[in-house]
Structure 1
Amino acid sequence: MEMSELQALLTPVGLELLDALGSIESTDEVARAVSRLRADGHSPELVSAVVGQAHLRAKAGAKFGPFAERMLFTRAGLEQATRLGVAARHAQRMRSAGLTRIADLGSGIGGDALAFAGAGLDVLAVDADPVTAAIAAYNLAPFGESATVQHGAAESADLDGRDAVWMDPARRTAGHSETRRVSPDDYSPSLDWAFALASRVPTGIKLGPAHDRDALPADAEAQWVSADGSVVELVLWTGALARAGVRRAALVIRGERSHELTAGADAVDAEVRPLGAFLHEPDGAVIRARLIGDVARSLDAGMLDEKIAYLTSDAALTSPFVQSFRVRETMAANPKSINAVLKANDIGTLEIKKRGVDIDPAQFRKKLTLRGGASATLILVRVGDQRRAILADRVSAAE
Structure 2
Amino acid sequence: MSTFSSNQTSSLPSWRQPDSVPFLKIENINKRFGDFTAVNNVSLDIYQNELFCLLGGSGSGKSTLLRMLAGFEAPSAGRILIDGVDMSNIPPWERPVNMMFQSYALFPHLNVEANVAFGLKREHLGKNEIQRRVNDMLDMVQLGHLAKRKPHMLSGGQRQRVALARALVKEPKLLLLDEPLGALDKKLREETQFELIRIQEELGITFVVVTHDQEEAMTLATRIGVMNHGQIIQTAEPQDVYEYPSNRFVAQFIGNVNLFDGVVIEDERDSVVIQCKDTQNLIQVNHGISCAPNQGVSIAIRPEKIRLSRTPLESTINTAVGMITDMAYMGSQSVYKVRLTSGKEVRITQPNSVRDTSDRLTWDEKVYLDWDADSSVVLTS
Q: TM-score range by the shorter chain?
A: 0.3 to 0.5
Specify which structure has the higher proportion of helix.
Answer: 1
Specify which structure has the higher proportion of strand.
Answer: 2
TM-score for the superposition, normalised by structure 2: 0.35
